[in-house]
Amino acid sequence: MAKIIAGVGTSHTPAIGAAVDNGKTGEPYWAPLFKGYEPARKWMAETRPDVVIMVYNDHVNAFDFKIIPTFGLGCAEEFRIADEGWGARPVPDVKGYPELAAHMVQSLVLDEFDMTIVNEMQVDHGLTTPMSLLFGQVQEWPCRVIPLAVNVIQYPAPTGHRCFMLGKAIRKAVESWEEDLKVVIFGTGGMSHQIQGPRAGLVNKEFDKAFLDGLSSDPQRLAQIPPLEYLRDAGAEAIELVMWLIMRGALGDKVKEVYRFYHVPASSTAVGHIILESMA
Amino acid sequence: MKKEQEAYEDIPGTWVFDAQRARIGYRLNEFLYSLMKAENRKAFLADERGYLMTFAMSEEQREAVMKRNWNKLLELGGVSYALAKLAFTDGKTYQFMASQMTGMTEKEYIDMMVGGGRSPEGWRSKSEREGR
């Protein structure tokens, strides 16, 4: 049986990926951040998942505004790296898992989550930055990846509660797949940040800490945070944190926090990172 | 729904990219999306107005593009990730664009972020802000 064994929450700021690509990880600005991810990379190397489900958002790269899926599940064999306007990142293309993705679509739609099926899609920094942070610089990614693209660009994004429930349905879908597989699910984006308008640069450390605490102790409370509260208290782009609730929902009721890291800034973002192992 | 929009508008220094704003900005964002291609970036820089005339956006939106009036572009339905493609076309960084939106220099903006970012105190609502 396939099993979701752990969840990873992490920011996906593009400047982090660029720092990796341009050999800047040892510079004073970046060194503390990459040092903070070292234990996580070690954990990932020991955990060796077969499949990663990557919950992320596209940033007007794969999807323009012609079609905006709220939840788009990547069902392709391969996902190429998008050129976001400054050349594609020099990282390997991403290998999908179409058989498992098709099974997930089947299970999720019958569970009343109306997924958009995405058979061709390029992936951007929302997906590749977390891959670089947890797997480092590699010739080939060591596992297959099923991308789950969530609309958090055009409001309203799906609510935290809806995302949490989707996570639970994802757990059910994965556990009904017969092959023995270790699956790790990522929730990416956040934490507090705003990258537009005169209020750009907003960071709310208290909000972020409470969110990280709540992931282990009280995710039900986090799932009730109204969209406006993310906007008002943690910045217009903090709404990305609803994607962490998909990850959390997929871990079952009981989790063990095995690692946490928090750092300000990466570009305009407060960077948060957590690893939760499923105890269910 | 109206209530939700009023709440969005009460957040200072922010243009929430909701469905109504996205509707107004559709052609503007289509133009910005076109800048993902190198040949389009070149064509735009060679003749900005001529290139903008090929998109059915408002004259006000065209003017704001040519002036790189970033906050006006947000107000008129531009979304930040798409606006970034215009900044990159100019050879500028995202942080440059963000600093322009805040009225700071790029260095001032970076220093603020390194110092821990902008505190939410006084920035949660317009009423709170005006009361300061």
Write down all domains in chain A, each with its CATH number in brackets: 11-198+207-267 (3.40.830.10)
CA–CA min distance A125, chain B (Å): 12
Q: How confident is the model at residue B132, as a pLDDT?
A: 57
Give the alpha-carbon dihedral of B35, B39, B40, B44, to 10 degrees. Answer: 110
- DSSP codes, chain A: -EEEEEEEEE---HHHHHHHHTT-TTSTTTHHHHHHHHHHHHHHHHH--SEEEEEE---SSS--SS---SEEEE--SEEPBP--SS---SS--EE--HHHHHHHHHHHHHTT--PEEESS--B-HHHHHHHHHHH-S-SS-SSEEEEEEE--SSSPPPPHHHHHHHHHHHHHHHHT--S-EEEEEEEES-SSB--SSTTTTB--HHHHHHHHHHHHH-HHHHHT--HHHHHHHH-GGGGGGHHHHHHHHTT-S-EEEEEEEEEEEETTEEEEEEEEEE--
Q: Look at residue A280 and tell me whether its pLDDT is greater than 90.
A: no
Report how many Cβ contacts below 8 Å link chain A to chain B.
138
Contact B98 A233 (CB under 8 A): no
pLDDT band at residue B1, thresholds of 50, 70 and 90?
Answer: low
Q: How confident is the model at residue B4, as a pLDDT?
A: 79
CA–CA min distance B87, chain A (Å): 10
Contact A153 B7 (CB under 8 A): no
Closest CA to B18 of A231, A62, A49: A231
Contact A85 B16 (CB under 8 A): no
What percent of chain A shows pLDDT beyond 90?
97
Q: Which two tokens stand for residue B14?
A: 């922010």
Q: Which two tokens stand for residue B3?
A: 């209530």
Report yes or no: A153 at the B interface, CB cutoff 8 Å: yes
pTM of this prediction?
Answer: 0.97
Cα dihedral across residues B124, B61, A60, A109: positive or negative: positive
Assign a CATH topology to domain B2-130.
Protocatechuate 4,5-dioxygenase; Chain A (1.10.700)
Contact A65 B7 (CB under 8 A): no
Residues B53-97: tens digit of each pLDDT: 999 999 999 999 999 999 999 999 999 999 999 999 999 999 999
Those residues whose C-beta lies under 8 Å from the C-beta of residue B33, and which sit 6 or more positions away, are A60, A64, A65, B82, B85
Q: A149 contacts in B (CB within 8 Å)? A: none
pLDDT band at residue A167, thresholds of 50, 70 and 90?
Answer: very high
ipTM: 0.94
Pairing of strands A255-266, A269-278: antiparallel
Q: Which residue of A has its CA nearest to B11?
A: A232
Q: How confident is the model at residue B130, as a pLDDT?
A: 76
Q: How confident is the model at residue B3, as a pLDDT?
A: 80
| Partner residue opposite B120 with nearest CB, options A83, A153, A202 | A202
Residues B16-29: tens digit of each pLDDT: 999 999 999 999 99
Q: Contact at 8 Å (CB) between A55 and A148?
A: yes
Residues of A with catalytic function = 125, 193
Those residues whose C-beta lies under 8 Å from the C-beta of residue B92, and which sit 6 or more positions away, are none
Residues A19-78: tens digit of each pLDDT: 999 999 999 999 999 999 999 999 999 999 999 999 999 998 999 889 999 999 999 999
Contact B14 A59 (CB under 8 A): no
Q: Identify the weakest region by mean pLDDT among A85-89, A133-137, A211-215, B81-85.
A: A85-89
Q: Which two tokens stand for residue A184?
A: 């790790």
- DSSP codes, A167-190: HHHHHHHHHT--S-EEEEEEEES-
CA–CA min distance A43, chain B (Å): 28
